[in-house]
């Protein structure tokens, strides 16, 4: 059974969320009293309670989402709260009505993404990332220190077998100088440290043990190990040549999945720690300058939303836009294929650039 003090915390979450008028998280929207009553005494086989899922969103009432799954089973055990959040975030995918995420399809034989900014006026850089989890391991809050080390070794050896353009080196966070780490973060290659949302989710335990980054010489192909997800596979470069960047990501995913078994579910697609990243797990983004369009920020967010795009700041989620540079990406990752997720970003950016030009 769930400890009495944990049940109390779950019950108390309702008021904490509802009383913060500035809070607009999906957790606040869907964690009703009924959901709390029906779920406060449940646990997954690995021991995760509803509190383990919601504690980040309760500690950070300014969360956008506010919930994480400590293990894959949490998504179904606590589906009363996860499913409505998944439906809301991944526009058009109705898991509550039995929808299943489609099988993976990167669309390799039909890719056609001519640079939407051939003069290089608007797009600073382009990046596509996806997340993967290793079969047989839970997510961050339930991992032991020994598992972190074991996973790091497994992924490191797999990556050291990559060939061609993807060949590179693994750099563990343990032992990396602060200077090198900060430079990699400033250049947008490495995850930040001490994220308060992950911290409150119990996802930063034993840091920096087991965490690190692999990259090729040009830093166009990168893999994050054991940050928010077991693996984040990333392809990026300056400019707007999405085709080259996406093809490199596909090649990377294909090579890595020959060496490592990934967790996949018929309904949820590829499994990740945060419900926003399930399904394709794909976030395709541009760093882009749209000075006219972004003059009115509310309007900019609204227009981006029309194309199912999400706007973030220059250093990623929960950051500010520096020098007028915004991160614009596909919002939904579930209920569509990898190809469609990337195309959604591409088509939306083509439209935003058209709009920007019409305002010049
Ligand atoms: P994630 O992409 O993994 O969801 P973040 O939003 O925190 O996480 O972004 C991670 C890093 O990737 C940040 O440094 C961010 O600035 C960088 N980034 C995202 N998109 C681009 C892009 N198109 N070009 C360059 N850097 C990018
Ligand atoms: C939030 O709710 O704002 C954070 N927990 C982040 C949610 C989505 N982002 C992510 O998974 N990187």
Tens of pLDDT, residues 83-110: 999 999 999 999 999 999 999 999 999 9
As a whole number of angstroms, the distance between CA 128 and CA 233 comes to 8
Which of 106, 88, 220, 241 has the alpha carbon at shortest distance from 167? 220
3-state helix, strand, coil in the chain (%, to 5): 40, 15, 40
The verdict on the CB of residue 129 being under 6 Å from ligand 1 is yes
For residues 327 and 313, the answer to whether their CB atoms sit within 8 Å is: yes
Which of 71, 103, 104, 69 has the alpha carbon at shortest distance from 86? 69
Please state, rounded to an integer, the average pLDDT across all residues of the chain: 98
Q: Which two tokens stand for residue 121?
A: 């006026």
Which of 267, 284, 301, 269 has the alpha carbon at shortest distance from 111? 284
Known catalytic residues are: 129, 228, 232, 274, 276, 283, 312, 317
Domains annotated for the chain, with CATH where assigned, are 4-89 (1.10.135.10), 108-358 (3.30.590.10)
For residues 285 and 126, the answer to whether their CB atoms sit within 8 Å is: yes
Which of 241, 248, 184, 190 has the alpha carbon at shortest distance from 220? 248
Ligand 1 atom with the shortest distance to the CA of 327: 20
Q: Which two tokens stand for residue 342?
A: 């990337």
Strands (E), the chain: 123-132, 168-172, 212-216, 221-225, 231-238, 264-265, 269-270, 283-289, 309-312, 325-330
Ligand 2 atom with the shortest distance to the CA of 25: 2
Cα dihedral angle (21, 319, 341, 214), rounded to 10 degrees? -140
pLDDT score, position 242:
98
Q: Ligand 2: which of 31, 272, 274, 331 to mutate, most ligand atoms within 8 Å of CB?
A: 274
For residues 125 and 238, the answer to whether their CB atoms sit within 8 Å is: yes
By percentage, how much of the chain surpasses pLDDT 90?
99
pLDDT score, position 93:
98
Ligand 1 atom with the shortest distance to the CA of 125: 24
The verdict on the CB of residue 232 being under 6 Å from ligand 1 is yes
Average pLDDT value for residue range 251-261: 98
The verdict on the CB of residue 288 being under 6 Å from ligand 1 is no
Q: Which two tokens stand for residue 264?
A: 């996949």
The verdict on the CB of residue 64 being under 6 Å from ligand 2 is yes
Angle at Cα 188 formed by Cα 116 and Cα 139, nearest 5°? 110
The length of the chain, given as a count of residues: 360
The verdict on the CB of residue 263 being under 6 Å from ligand 2 is no
Helix (H) or strand (E) holding 74: helix 72-77
Ligand 2 atom with the shortest distance to the CA of 56: 5
pLDDT score, position 271:
98
The residue whose C-alpha atom lies closest to atom 7 belonging to ligand 2 is: 65
CA 202 to chain centre: 17
The verdict on the CB of residue 67 being under 6 Å from ligand 2 is no
- Contacts (Cβ under 8 Å, ≥6 apart) of 255: 162, 163, 166
Q: What letter would DSSP give residue 165?
A: G
Average pLDDT value for residue range 172-182: 98
Question: Helices 50-59 and 4-19 meet at what angle, rounded to 10?
Answer: 40
Model confidence over 43-55: pLDDT tens digits? 999 999 999 999 9
């Amino acid at each position: 059974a769930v400890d009495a003090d944990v049940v109390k915390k779950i019950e108390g979450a309702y008021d904490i969320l509802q009383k913060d008028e500035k809070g607009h998280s999906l957790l606040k929207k869907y964690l009703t009293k009924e959901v709390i009553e029906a779920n406060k005494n449940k646990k997954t086989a690995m021991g995760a309670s509803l509190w383990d899922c919601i504690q980040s969103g309760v500690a950070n009432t300014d969360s956008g989402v506010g919930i994480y799954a400590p293990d894959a089973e949490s998504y179904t055990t606590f589906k009363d709260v996860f499913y409505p959040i998944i439906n809301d975030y991944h526009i058009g995918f109705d898991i509550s009505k039995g929808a299943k995420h489609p099988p993976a399809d990167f669309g390799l034989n039909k890719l056609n993404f001519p640079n939407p900014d051939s003069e290089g006026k608007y797009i600073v850089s382009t990046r596509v990332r996806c997340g993967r989890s290793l079969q047989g391991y839970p997510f961050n809050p339930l991992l032991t220190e020994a598992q972190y080390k074991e996973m790091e070794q497994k992924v490191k050896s797999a990556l050291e077998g990559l060939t061609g353009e993807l060949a590179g080196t693994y750099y563990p966070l343990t032992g990396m100088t602060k200077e090198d780490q900060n430079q990699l973060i400033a250049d947008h290659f490495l995850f930040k440290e001490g994220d308060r949302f992950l911290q409150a989710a119990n996802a930063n335990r034993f840091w920096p043990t087991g965490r690190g980054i692999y990259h090729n010489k040009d830093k166009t192909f990168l893999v994050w190990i054991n940050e928010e997800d077991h693996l984040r596979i990333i392809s990026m470069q300056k400019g707007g040549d999405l085709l080259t960047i996406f093809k490199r990501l596909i090649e990377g995913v294909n090579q890595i999945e020959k060496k490592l078994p990934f967790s996949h579910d018929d309904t949820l697609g590829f499994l990740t720690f945060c419900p926003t990243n399930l399904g394709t797990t794909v976030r395709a983004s541009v760093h882009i300058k749209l000075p006219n369009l972004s003059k009115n920020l509310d309007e900019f967010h609204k227009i981006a939303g029309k194309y199912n795009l999400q706007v973030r700041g220059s250093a990623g989620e929960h950051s500010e836009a520096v020098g007028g540079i915004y991160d614009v990406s596909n919002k939904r990752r579930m209920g569509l294929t990898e190809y469609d997720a990337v195309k959604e970003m591409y088509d939306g950016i083509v439209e935003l650039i058209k709009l920007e030009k019409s305002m010049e």
